[in-house]
Amino acid sequence: MAKGIVVKCKPEDGEDFTVKFEHMAISLLPTPFPAELYEKSKELALHFGVLIRQMLANPQRNIHETLAHFNTTDPFVNRLLKISSVFNGTPVQERQNMQMLIMRTDFMVDQVSKSLKLVEFNTIAAGLGSLSQRVFELQQYVLAKYGDNMRVGDSQIALPRDDVGRHSLIETAQSFADGMKIYLEGMKQRLPREYETITIKKIYTLFVVEEQERNLGDQRCLEDQLFNTHGILTIRATFTQLSTQMQVDPLTKKLSVQGKEIGIVYYRTGYVAEQYNGERDWKIREALELSMAIKCPTIDLHLLTLKKFQEAFSCDEFLYSVLTDRHQEIADSLQPYFQGIWSLQYLGLDSSKDQFYEQLIKRAIQNPQDFVIKPQKEGGGNNFYGKDVQSMLESTSPGRDEILRQYLIMEIIRPPTISVAMLRQGKLAIREAVAELGIFSTVFINSTSSTSIQESTQNKVIGLLMRTKGMECNEGGVNSGYSVIDQPLLVQNWSGQPRLEPVWNL
């Protein structure tokens, strides 16, 4: 499982559990992607790391006030904000101040602007980095055997010269090892005698996972890499299991699970309300947050994955209020890459915005193919496109405005197309497709108080996830069945054509 490119099958009708696995949906060959924009995506990912860091400089203003509407209308956001308030109200000497983030920043190439546009950024449970490296290795094997015979055209092409694609798994594991060292150094300062001889091989990483976790292959790859390269052991546990297996020392706030000390809590669940089974799970989440283990991510970093912040960052006034003074150049560099996105949270509530909403909704009804309606929640399959956009906005039901206030409306990005050899459930199909490039980065942030923040101790690119999907498909989730895992093949001199020049004889 740790060596393959696999995902657990869904239980069949009548089954509660299955041990069946299948290969993850993949592209057999790397897909052309503009070289200049590939380099730009890595630069932008680092700039987003700085932006996220600066957001934590003032959580009350930057996070809580931005989410004020959803705090009163969305119970899930309300619970997250309550935990955030408890954490930020805890004296710095009594809490873990190091915050760890593995973020994936997703981009698409836009034909109209001939540049990248931000699709979204994910600050919790951003997966498939491990399998991305495995797909790179598989595609290298295919190219070594068949590449010369399959090549067509005269385009200048090259695989990325950096190690971002081929070392996604290695670099992610290194980030966890770095986090473990930071945890140990902090505990040695707090309890020097107790931790004098303890090494990271005595401290565990906790993977908090779903009850019916399917993405085991991606996670087991990382667990295997952590142990084989760094000697770091892991414990996997659901919220239900943690309810009986977890302890937090009342004096030191040291976290233990199954009697083993935990240095890092890594969330692969907990990003939607349905993953919490009542008050018990919420109390566990709060206890984890207040323990001395480093969280990946912390509650504040988790909150930043909400789509409301994508809209907030696209507003110049907000962006430049966060990236002030010496960070203004970073704001300048980010500003052109936001696509138009607007929250509907004030629909019918603020008369000063009535005209704006009226014009926006009119545009979307007349041209629904140009817009997508997005909810706050994470996970594939939750967006609305085309005729569904029109139906939602034209609805005359009494509760229409109340429903729409939980959503945002975004302009569609128009990427160029390319033929891709997609392998799904053992069947190969040649499809006209579009690509979405996600850049993984790690950020460590030392927050010393609720209103001041030190420089991040680390902000680096650690990997990529390229997903290609059929032109007729709107969503982008691999596990949701919408796209395949891929790798970029860099092409020179793209000038905005609606279709990238074919490279492989498919």
CA-nearest of 42, 45, 5, 43 to 21 is: 5
Q: Is 375 annotated as a binding residue?
A: yes
Q: Is 413 annotated as a binding residue?
A: yes
Pairing of strands 458-470, 484-486: antiparallel
384: DSSP letter:
E
Question: Is residue 219 annotated as involved in ligand binding?
Answer: yes
- 410 in a labelled binding site: yes
Q: Which two tokens stand for residue 175?
A: 């980030």
Q: Has 285 been labeled as part of a binding site?
A: no
Helical axes 216-230 vs 129-150, angle rounded to 10°: 100
Q: Where are the beta strands (DSSP E) in 454-501?
A: 458-470, 484-486, 488-491
Handedness of CA 289, 290, 295, 298 (dihedral sign): positive
Residue 59's closest CA among 20, 35, 87, 36? 87
Residue 374 among known ligand-binding residues? yes
Q: Is 436 assigned to a binding site?
A: yes
- Cα(234)–Cα(252) distance, rounded to whole angstroms? 22
Greatest extent of the chain over all pairs of C-alpha atoms, in Å: 70
Is 228 flagged in the annotation as binding?
Answer: no
Q: How far apart are CA 17 and CA 11, in angstroms?
A: 6
Contacts of 397 (CB under 8 A, 6+ apart): none
Q: Is 231 annotated as a binding residue?
A: no
Cis peptide bond prior to 30, omega within 30° of 0: no
SS3 sequence of 297-354: CCHHHHHCCCHHHHHHHHCHHHHHHHCCHHHHHHHHHHHHHCCCEEECCCCCCCHHHH
Three-state DSSP at 106 gives strand
Q: Where are the beta strands (DSSP E) in 349-426?
A: 371-375, 384-385, 407-411, 418-424
Alpha-carbon distance of 35 to 204, in angstroms, equals 40
Q: Could you tell me which of 96, 76, 505, 56 has the C-alpha nearest to residue 322?
A: 56
Closest C-alpha to 102, from 137, 128, 84:
128
Does 127 carry a binding-site annotation?
no
Is 182 labeled as ligand-binding?
no
Say if residue 385 carries a ligand binding annotation.
Answer: yes
Is 458 annotated to bind a ligand? Reply is: no
Helix, strand, coil in percent for the chain, rounding step 5: 40, 25, 35
Nearest to 374 by CA among 468, 467, 276, 305: 305
Helix or strand holding residue 172 (H, E)? helix 168-190
377 marked ligand binding residue: yes
Q: Is 378 annotated as a binding residue?
A: yes
Binding residues for ATP: 307, 374-383, 385, 410-413, 436, 469, 475
Binding residues for substrate: 219, 467
Binding residues for Mg(2+): 378
Binding residues: 219, 307, 374-383, 385, 410-413, 436, 467, 469, 475
